[in-house]
Structure formats: C-alpha cells, structure tokens
Chain A
C-alpha cells in the first residue's frame, strides 16, 4: 500500500458525459501528479500540482482539468468524454518539488474509466 488513495476504482459512463476522479496523496506529500495509462500509449504524464498550484502540464487535453485543494487532495475532471478516453488514470504523490533534486513518486491504485 503506497498510501495514495484514489476513488472511484471503476467508472463506466457514456460519451459526452463528465466525470471527476479523486486522489488523496500520502500524508505530508505536497505534490500530486496525474497520469493516463492506455494500451497503445503507455503511462503518460498529464499534470502536476504542488501545494495547490499548477506546476507542470503534459499532453493534457483541453477537455480535461484538475485542481488541488487546501487539504492537498486533488481532482481530475474529464468532460465531453470520448471512447478514446477509456484508460487507467493514476495519481502519484511526492513530498516536494525542488529546483534540483527529484522526489520519488508513489502511485495510487488507479481509476479505470470506461466510456461506452
């Protein structure tokens, strides 16, 4: 158990709908990362938040957005869903982000999204 929790575990929805995925980082971790894992693309970085502020963006679609709340949990919002958005969505957390050194990222169990 990494200490990172994600809800829900599974989500089945229809095209055009909007869903919200939730992540609680490990106790004390300030950084939250979101990744998408699909069969053809592998694990792809979407977005990073640090202590409530957006820090980095990857190949995140404009239909997707995220935020980190004062209690440090994070939500990933996916709207106007398409069949191709079906994937595993992982959240990871790390203690901090600093200029030079990296912190190891610990992954949650993921949310499996199926768009029908």
Chain B
C-alpha cells in the first residue's frame, strides 16, 4: 500500500464547475500538506500549503485537511480552462522529503 493514495482520474468537468480533488494517506506522522499543479512537461508549481488540520483559502482554491480521517482535499471554485493540469498532493513529516500522490489529471471544458 502506498503512503499517499490519489485517484489518477482523468477528471473532466465543464467550465465554472466546482472541482473536488482528494488524497488519503496512511502515515499519521505527516504534518505538512501541500497541493501542487503541474502542466504538461513542466515542473510542479506550489498552490497551497497547510500545516496540520483545518482549512485554508486562497482565491478560488480551498485546501482542507482532516488528520483524524487522514484525508485532504482541494476545492477549485469557478473552474477555468486554464486550470486544466495534473494536481499532485504532497505531504511531509517536518523538514523532510515530500511524499507525493500519483496526481489527478483534470480537464476543464469550455
């Protein structure tokens, strides 16, 4: 079993829809949770960074962490075609390596 599980999709939604992306994990020691966006053949770009449980909002993006359920989510409101990319969840224990999910490929259709 992988430490971090993420549905690879693909996920296709119409423009303007609310998108929900999720990851589950098994290591209860994870404290730091991140979401990266990766366009094709590009490097991952940091979108959201959260410490421990709770919600964090940044514009159209909201990250949620539920440590009791070992479950994290990323919500994208008013999705745009430019949001089409692969979304990677990542987590770490302190100042250590990032452990990534497999990535979810998202397409927003105009």
Taking Cβ atoms with an 8 Å cutoff, the residues of A that contact B are: 2, 4, 33, 35, 42-45, 48, 56, 58, 88, 90, 92, 94, 96-110, 112
Contacts and interface: CB of A to CB of B under 8 A. Distances in A.
Contacts of A90: 43-44
A17 to B, nearest CB: 23
Interface residues of B, number: 24
Interface in B12-65: 31-32, 34, 36, 41-46, 49
Q: Is the interface of B mostly helix, strand, loop or mixed?
A: loop
Contacts, number: 64
A44 B98 CA distance: 8
Nearest to B31: A102
A56 B94 CA distance: 13
B49 A104 contact: yes
Contact of B88 (A2, A43, A48): A43
A92 B100 CA distance: 14
B73 interface: no
Given A42-B102, A42-B103, A43-B100, A100 B43 contact: no
A102 B96 contact: yes
B44 A107 contact: yes
A102 B100 contact: no
Given A2-B43, A90-B43, A106-B46, A98 B100 contact: no
Contact of B97 (A4, A33, A99, A112): A33
A112 B44 contact: no
A90 B98 CA distance: 13
